[in-house]
Amino acid sequence: MNGDLLLDVDGLCVQYDMPGGAPLLAVSDVSFTLRRGEILGIAGESGSGKTTLITALLRLQRPPAVTVAGRARFFPRDGEPLDLLHADARTLRRLRWERIAVVFQSAMNALNPVQRLSSQFVDAVRAHRRLSKAEARRRAERMFELVGIPAGRMRDYPHELSGGMRQRATIALALVCEPDVVVMDEPTTAVDVVMQRQILRQIARLQREAGFAIIFITHDLSLLLEISHRIAIMYGGRIVESAPALALHRDPRHRYTVGLRDSFPPLRGPVPQLLGIPGTPPDLRRPLPGCSFAPRCAHSTADCEATVPPLQTEAERVYACIHPHRQAVEVQP
Amino acid sequence: MTSVADGGPVLEAAGLTVHYPVHRGPIGGRVVHALDDVTLTLHPGRIVAVVGESGSGKSTLARVLAMAQQPTAGSVRLSGQEVRLRSRRARREYASRVQLVLQDPFSSLNPLHRVRYLLARPLALHAGVRAEAELDRRIRGLLERVALTPAERFIDAYPHELSGGQRQRVAIARALAVRPDVILGDELVSMLDVSMRLEILNLLSGLRDEERLAMLYITHDIAAARYFTDEIAVMYAGEIVEYGPSEPVTQAPAHPYTKLLIGSSPDPGREPALDGDDDDLGEPPDLVAPPAGCRFHPRCPFVMAHCRVSAPPRVDVDAGRWARCWLLVDEVEPTPRQTT
């Protein structure tokens, strides 16, 4: 997984222009890197900016969202690095699907309901590869089998598949041009736990075999801990902590990460009294001068409320907290 | 069913069956087996979780228990009396004892009304509270019970001014307004942010402990069910396949489906996490033509010949726990899965 640099996002800021008011800063100064073959999880609750971040990065955002600062350098296998945030439409068209693919949460909306799956796949492949229809179809059939759907189902319309199969079909569709990175936005939220497990295992296997990188976005930290190499936690539009998955689980620094981790009741071991995180998520319409988590934090002081805590680096992790948590827990085997 | 020392059951469902007729299309004239022969008992001061995948019949069960829907067969008894809702008055009386709280607090609260009005309606309709001062006192009391304090901050708010967690508290307060004996909660926290869920779960366990409410809590999250409920009923394809106290059901599941459900749930402590082979774990069956015999047999790793032909009986496992599985029947020796 310690491959070459694939994506380097630096100082990304996205705002929403509000009618007759000050703009709302939905993503503030977000920086992260992604290496070839790395699985980066981004966890955050509603309104934390994770989807805004991704749509800005992929240049899929629509007004009133505007990217106001930052750059996102993408390093192709061959050729010069380029900035995704300033690439022209032609470059983007070449990159999408071919190098950067996306899997959205709602599989039903991602597939064309009036086209058979086979023709959607053939279209996607032939838009990017010079292949005959028959070759494109064979390639699509191979992808179908890789995600565990019988090739015969390619003749179906999307509504003829179950929810789990549809979601697997969109994953196959994303992978059909062998991209360098796949962005997955809550790909398993709409399916049941058993199907979720099956899809995650398939993603993990395909990733091991093909070596693409993944940016996996979800509100479910417990799921990210299982699949990611590295996890970034977003709160109030910022990345407040980023660390290798195991370190983030056993020994988080930011107080919000601790609260989020301890919001998932355990399936095994003793049942502790859990409190969740008191208070409510930040209102981005009324940004605070200091740490946006301070009003909910039991450890906040006047310093926390005065200025936004700077990102601190410690070994393989970064965090934005001036009273960090330091108490590793032994996780029950 | 389990007997508890502290008084009899408050709500009993026996043999509840719901078959939805299909009127048109290629399967017109047949029925969807949403719920088949479900028996369940709720006691004061206890929470029963109903756990299962979508389509397993969980929400249909809640709707039937709330009498929002007629069962095809079976009966519901409230405090020992069989429930027959023939008049509006009888319906209202039933609703004043059994309250359903829905999943989505963004659509279950009328956006045009303030919290005050939303809570005053049930007080006026069910408790006959009309005097302004008394209403105000009761509404503030309700807000305090669901920890929406100070009450002044919330009493004149519109739903859109509240967070999801606060809205769900208003929905719970509205159910509590009629002083029910039973609360039926359908996926109460699944629309809420993770950090807000525990406050609602802790609120519900407080209501159980302090006010001795009986509760049915429907969820797909078996870890949350283990956290705060007393018993768990695991549903599969319209049937309860395992039932018992939460700890044994989650720590030593007896039914292969319960095992699959627990093995599939996210569990950060588990290693190796995703290195296993990605066997096809299967999907829930077609409820128009459910599998013969045990409904889980097409997905079961331990399937035996007679699982395919005859439905397994209810077998007692240990104290207060039973499951429907041929593996638990002594006379039948388990044989490995036949590869075809």
In chain A, what are the domain boundaries? Answer: 5-48+56-232, 238-319
The span from the CA of A167 to the CA of A161, in Å, is 9
Band the pLDDT of B5: cuts 50, 70, 90: very low
Contacts of A272 in chain B (CB under 8 A): none
* Interacting residues of A270 by C-beta distance below 8 A, sequence separation 6+: none
State whether B261 and A193 contact (CB < 8 Å): yes
Name the residue among B198, B222, B267 with its Cβ closest to that of A263. B198
Q: The complex's ipTM? A: 0.87
Contacts of A221 in chain B (CB under 8 A): 194
Asked if residue B337 has pLDDT above 60, the reply is: no
- Residues B115, B157 contacting (CB under 8 angstroms): yes
Asked if residue B267 has pLDDT above 90, the reply is: no
* Interacting residues of A132 by C-beta distance below 8 A, sequence separation 6+: none
CA A95 to chain B, closest CA, distance in angstroms equals 30
Pick from A54-63, A198-207, B157-166, B325-334: least confident:
B325-334
Tokens 């693919």 map to which residue?
A101
Query: According to CATH, what is the number of the domain A5-48+56-232?
Result: 3.40.50.300
Pick from A118-132, A207-221, B188-202, B272-286: least confident:
B272-286
Return the pLDDT at B28: 78
Asked if residue B36 has pLDDT above 80, the reply is: yes
Q: What is the DSSP string of B33-56?
A: EEEEEEEEEE-TT-EEEEE--TTS
State whether B273 and A205 contact (CB < 8 Å): no
What is the residue-level pLDDT of chain A in tens, covering all 333 positions? 447 999 999 999 999 998 888 889 999 999 999 999 999 999 998 889 998 999 999 999 888 899 999 999 999 888 889 999 999 999 999 899 889 999 988 777 788 999 999 999 999 899 888 899 999 999 999 888 888 888 889 999 999 888 888 888 999 999 999 999 999 998 888 788 888 888 898 899 999 999 999 999 999 999 999 999 999 999 999 999 999 999 999 999 999 999 999 999 999 999 999 988 988 888 888 889 999 999 999 999 999 999 999 999 998 999 999 999 987 765 544
Return the pLDDT at A1: 42
Q: In a 10 Å sphere around its CB, with 0-12 CB exposed, 13-18 middle and 19+ buried, how is residue B111 labelled?
A: exposed
Output the pTM of the full model. 0.89
Contacts of A207 in chain B (CB under 8 A): none
The span from the CA of B220 to the CA of B54, in Å, is 8
B248 → chain A, closest CA residue = A268
| Beta-sheet strand order (sheet of B31-42) | B31-42, B11-21, B73-78, B81-82
Chain centre distance of CA B257: 18
Asked if residue B147 has pLDDT above 70, the reply is: yes
The span from the CA of A38 to the CA of B72, in Å, is 53
CA dist A267 → A13, A271, B228, B252 (Å):
38, 9, 12, 12
Sign of the four-CA dihedral A304, B197, B54, A112: negative
For B219-247, what is each residue's pLDDT tens digit? 999 999 999 999 999 999 999 999 999 99
Return the pLDDT at B1: 40
The span from the CA of B146 to the CA of B169, in Å, is 6
Cβ-Cβ pairs closer than 8 A, A with B, add up to 129
The span from the CA of B13 to the CA of B340, in Å, is 41
Contacts of B263 in chain A (CB under 8 A): 197
Asked if residue B275 has pLDDT above 70, the reply is: no
For B289-315, what is each residue's pLDDT tens digit? 999 999 999 999 999 999 999 999 999
Mean pLDDT for chain B overall? 89
The span from the CA of B188 to the CA of B102, in Å, is 6
Q: Which of residues 84-143 of A touch B (CB under 8 A)?
A: none
CA A74 to chain B, closest CA, distance in angstroms equals 29
Asked if residue B322 has pLDDT above 90, the reply is: yes
